[in-house]
Amino acid sequence: MNDQHIASAFDRDLEGIQAQIMKMGGMVETAISDASRALEMRDVELAEAVRKNDKAIDALEEEVSADVARVIAMRGPTASDLRTVLTVLKISGNLERLGDYAKNLAKRTSVLSEMPAVNGSGGSIRRMAKSVNLMLKDALDAYIQRDVDLAEDIRQRDAEIDQMYNALFREFLTHMMEDPRNITACMHLHFIAKNLERMGDHVTSIAEQVVYLVTGEMPDEDREKKDRTPFVTAPDEV
């Protein structure tokens, strides 16, 4: 098999894997949107659908991992091609974690639906989720277009997600102080907000992988983090 044929086969394999990544990204975007809408509308059935659909995201991530391993073993990619393949692997891992966080949001929604609603909380969470989802869409676009400027913009926008989280933290704290009956619900809402803040970190990681893919180097400067809350956070859920 000549070098040109090997390169052509690698390109076909990579196109297939990248199609899986975009499919996975679309599924994650839907999961985040549906989970936040379920919270705002107190829609238990929609929340349960998000939880069930996470299995499809996990399965696709496993498929991407298997395909990447096969490509490395069979095609013997060059250094630059190997960087592309490893970037795809890391992006799929971040997408899988984003799906897990959306599932966690749905889990909390089912619990919160049985409690009195906290005024305005559902809408605030959904606005934060919408911002995370827009970042994710842009991160996937940056990957497909190999757009470093867009990727850098996404890195900086993560500070906005941190600020939204901080504002929600203060909002929930106020509700708890005003009425102790809100404490349990606000604790769940805080964990949801924290999960969304962590989602922003994973989207930022995708953007950083785009920078690495195009330049061969990870971004030098640390992005500014705006999360300054002293509140205890929930452990990662699965």
232 inside domain: no
166 inside domain: yes
Higher-confidence residue of 10 and 42: namely 42
CA angle 86, 88, 93 (to 5 degrees): 95
Token output for 161: 């997600």
Q: Specify the CATH number for the domain of residue 133.
A: 1.20.58.220
User: Whole domain around residue 15: which residue ranges?
Assistant: 3-215
pLDDT band at 123 (very low <50, low <70, confident <90, very high): confident
Residue 13 near residue 75, CB atoms below 8 Å: yes
pTM of the shown model: 0.88
Residue 168 near residue 190, CB atoms below 8 Å: yes
As a whole number, the mean pLDDT across the chain is 89
Q: Which of 77-86, 102-111, 223-232 has the lowest mean pLDDT?
A: 223-232
**116 secondary structure, DSSP code:** P
pLDDT band at 223 (very low <50, low <70, confident <90, very high): low
64 inside domain: yes
* Domain count along the chain: 1
50 inside domain: yes
Token output for 223: 């992005």
How buried is residue 160: exposed, middle or buried, by Cβ count under 10 Å (0-12/13-18/19+)? middle
Give the C-alpha separation, 226 to 182, whole Å. 26
Token output for 185: 């619900």
70 inside domain: yes
Q: Which of 71-85, 120-134, 149-163, 204-218 has the lowest mean pLDDT?
A: 71-85
Token output for 218: 């990870």
Give the C-alpha separation, 101 to 192, whole Å. 9
pLDDT at 93 over 60: yes
Residue 78 zone, left/alpha/beta (φ > 0; ψ -120 to 50; rest): beta
Share of the chain above pLDDT 90, in %: 71
59 inside domain: yes
pLDDT band at 235 (very low <50, low <70, confident <90, very high): very low
Token output for 71: 């490509």
Mean pLDDT of all residues in 147-157: 96
Residue 35 one-letter amino acid:
A
- CA nearest neighbour of 96 among 47, 176, 4, 24: 24
pLDDT band at 76 (very low <50, low <70, confident <90, very high): confident
C-alpha 92 chain-centroid distance: 10
User: Would you give the end-to-end CA distance of the chain in angstroms?
Assistant: 45
Helix H segments across 179-226?
183-215
pLDDT at 38 over 80: yes
123 inside domain: yes
38 inside domain: yes
Give the C-alpha separation, 48 to 55, whole Å. 12
Backbone angles phi, psi at 2, to 5 degrees: -80, 170
Q: Which of 18-27, 120-129, 157-166 has the lowest mean pLDDT?
A: 120-129
